[in-house]
C-alpha cells in the first residue's frame, strides 16, 4: 500500500528535486563560462553559449523530472485538487493548456499513468478542522518585514547621496530616483513598524478588514489565496467577493501570516461556520 503524503510534503519534494538541479544549471553554466573565458580557454562569445546552454539544460531537466514528480505526487496525495492548485501557485507546474505545459516530456507509459490518475480529480478533496486554529485569528503587520524594508530604504538613501555628490547628470538622475525610492521605503516601513492595529480579523462568523465592517461568511464567496508574479518573486494576496460584488484584494507580503497557513485558517473557519448554521 502506497504511503499517503501531505500536500506540503509533496510540494517541498518537488521544489527540491526540480528547482535545485534547474538552478544549478542556470547559475553553474554561466559561472563555468566566465571562468573559462577569464582563462582564455574559450572565446568571448563562448559566455553567451554557456548562458544559453544553462537555460537549455535547466529546461530539459524540468521537462523530464516534472512528469516523474506529477506521477509520484498525484499517486501519493489524497487532495489532488489542492495539490495541483498549490503546484501552480508555487510555479512547479503550469496551468493546463499553457504553452510551457506542453513542453513537458512524457513517454507513452507516463501519459497513460497520468490519464489513470485523472480519475482522482472526479473526487472532492477531504478536509478536517485544524484544532490548532484559535477561536479568533488576528493578523498584524510583520515587524521583521517592515524592518527589512526600512534597512533597504536606508541603504538606498545612502547610495543616492553618494551619487548626488557626483557632478555628472547621469549620476544626478539615478541618485534622485534612488533617493525618492529609498525615502518612500523608509517612510512606509516606519509607519508599518509602529502600527499595532489589527489588519485582518477572522473567526467563524466572517472576515473583518481594518477599514471595513465585518463581512459574514454568508456574504463571502470565491475567497482564495492568489499569487501574482513569477517564482520566488511572486506576491500572495487574500482575495474574495462580498454580497455586493465588491472585490477585495489584500497584499499578504507585509502581514505576519504565511499564505499556506492562512488557507488552513480560512478553511477551518468556514467549516466551523457551516457546523454552526446547520
Kindly write down the DSSP assignment for every residue of the chain, as one continuous string.
-PPPB-HHHHHHHHIIIIIHHHHHHHHHHHHHHHHHHHTTSS-TTHHHHHHHHHHHHHHHHHHHHHHHHHHHHHHHBS-HHHHHHHHHHTTSSPPTT-TTGGG----HHHHHHHHHHGGGGGSPP-----TTS-SEEEE-B-HHHHHHHHHHHHHHHHHHHHHHTS-SHHHHHHHHHHHHHHHHHHHHHHHHHT--S-SEEEETTEEEETTS--EEGGG-EEEEEEEESSGGG-EEEEEEE-TT--EEEEE-TTBSS-HHHHHHHHHHHHHHHHHHT-
Q: With respect to residue 37, please indicate whether it lies within any of the assigned structural domains.
A: yes
Beta-ladder partners of 216: 206
Specify whether the CB–CB gap between 116 and 170 falls below 8 A. Answer: no
Full domain range(s) for residue 212: 197-276
- Judged against a pLDDT cut of 70, whether residue 205 lies above it is answered with yes
- Judged against a pLDDT cut of 60, whether residue 1 lies above it is answered with no
The pLDDT value recorded for residue 10 is 93
204 shares its domain with 251: yes
152 shares its domain with 86: no
- Judged against a pLDDT cut of 70, whether residue 138 lies above it is answered with yes
- Judged against a pLDDT cut of 70, whether residue 231 lies above it is answered with no
162 shares its domain with 79: no
41 shares its domain with 118: yes
11 shares its domain with 110: yes
114 shares its domain with 149: no
149 shares its domain with 79: no
**Of the candidate ranges 104-113, 144-153, 164-173, 208-217, the one whose mean pLDDT is the lowest:** 164-173
The pLDDT value recorded for residue 185 is 93
Q: With respect to residue 138, please indicate whether it lies within any of the assigned structural domains.
A: no
Q: With respect to residue 135, please indicate whether it lies within any of the assigned structural domains.
A: no
Q: What is the pLDDT of residues 51-106, one digit of tens each?
A: 999 999 999 999 999 999 999 999 999 999 989 988 887 888 888 888 888 899 99
260 shares its domain with 223: yes
Kindly tell me the sign of the dihedral angle through the C-alpha atoms of 180, 182, 188, 194: negative
175 shares its domain with 255: no
Q: Of 186, 185, 209, whose CA–CA distance to 197 is shortest?
A: 209
- Judged against a pLDDT cut of 90, whether residue 241 lies above it is answered with yes
- Judged against a pLDDT cut of 60, whether residue 201 lies above it is answered with yes
Q: What is the pLDDT of residues 34-57, one digit of tens each?
A: 888 888 888 888 888 999 999 999
Average model confidence (pLDDT) for the chain?
Answer: 89
The pLDDT value recorded for residue 159 is 92
Specify whether the CB–CB gap between 142 and 255 falls below 8 A. Answer: yes
- Judged against a pLDDT cut of 70, whether residue 233 lies above it is answered with no
183 shares its domain with 202: no
Q: With respect to residue 224, please indicate whether it lies within any of the assigned structural domains.
A: yes
Mean per-residue pLDDT for 189-202?
A: 93
156 shares its domain with 214: no
Q: With respect to residue 18, please indicate whether it lies within any of the assigned structural domains.
A: yes
The pLDDT value recorded for residue 42 is 83
Rounded to two decimals, the pTM is 0.66
Q: Which residue has the cell 486554529?
A: 133
Report the number of distinct structural domains present in the chain: 3
Query: What proportion of the chain, given as a percentage, has pLDDT over 70?
Result: 97
- Judged against a pLDDT cut of 70, whether residue 218 lies above it is answered with yes
184 shares its domain with 203: no
> Domain end: 122, 157, 179, which one?
122
Q: Which CB contacts under 8 angstroms, 24+ apart, belong to 258-263?
A: 259/225, 259/227, 260/8, 260/86, 260/225, 262/139, 262/225, 262/238, 263/225
Distance CA(65)–CA(14), nearest Å, equals 9
- Report the Cα–Cα distance between both ends of the chain, in Å, rounded: 37
The pLDDT value recorded for residue 278 is 65
Amino acid at each position: 500500500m502506497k504511503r499517503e503524503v501531505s500536500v506540503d510534503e509533496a510540494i517541498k519534494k518537488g521544489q527540491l528535486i526540480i528547482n535545485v538541479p534547474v538552478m544549478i544549471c542556470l547559475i553553474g553554466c554561466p559561472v563555468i563560462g566566465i571562468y573559462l573565458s577569464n582563462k582564455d580557454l574559450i572565446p568571448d562569445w563562448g559566455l553567451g553559449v554557456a548562458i544559453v546552454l544553462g537555460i537549455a539544460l535547466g529546461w530539459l531537466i524540468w521537462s523530464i523530472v516534472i512528469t516523474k514528480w506529477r506521477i509520484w505526487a498525484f499517486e501519493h496525495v489524497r487532495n489532488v485538487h489542492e495539490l495541483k492548485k498549490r503546484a501552480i501557485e508555487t510555479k512547479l507546474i503550469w496551468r493546463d493548456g499553457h504553452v510551457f505545459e506542453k513542453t513537458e516530456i512524457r513517454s507513452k507509459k507516463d501519459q497513460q499513468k497520468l490519464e489513470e490518475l485523472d480519475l482522482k480529480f472526479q473526487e472532492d478533496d477531504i478536509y478536517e478542522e485544524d484544532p490548532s486554529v484559535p477561536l479568533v485569528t488576528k493578523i498584524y503587520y510583520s515587524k521583521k518585514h517592515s524592518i527589512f524594508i526600512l534597512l533597504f530604504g536606508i541603504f538606498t538613501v545612502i547610495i543616492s547621496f553618494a551619487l548626488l555628490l557626483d557632478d555628472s547628470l547621469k549620476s544626478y538622475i539615478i541618485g534622485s530616483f534612488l533617493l525618492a525610492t529609498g525615502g518612500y521605503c523608509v517612510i512606509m516601513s516606519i509607519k508599518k513598524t509602529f502600527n499595532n492595529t489589527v489588519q485582518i480579523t477572522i473567526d467563524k462568523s466572517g472576515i473583518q478588514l481594518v477599514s471595513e465592517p465585518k463581512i459574514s461568511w454568508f456574504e463571502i464567496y470565491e475567497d482564495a489565496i492568489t499569487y501574482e508574479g513569477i517564482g520566488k518573486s511572486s506576491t500572495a494576496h487574500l482575495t474574495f467577493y462580498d454580497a455586493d460584488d465588491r472585490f477585495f484584494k489584500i497584499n499578504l507580503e507585509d502581514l505576519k501570516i504565511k499564505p499556506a497557513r492562512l488557507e488552513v485558517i480560512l478553511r477551518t473557519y468556514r467549516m466551523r461556520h457551516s457546523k454552526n448554521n446547520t
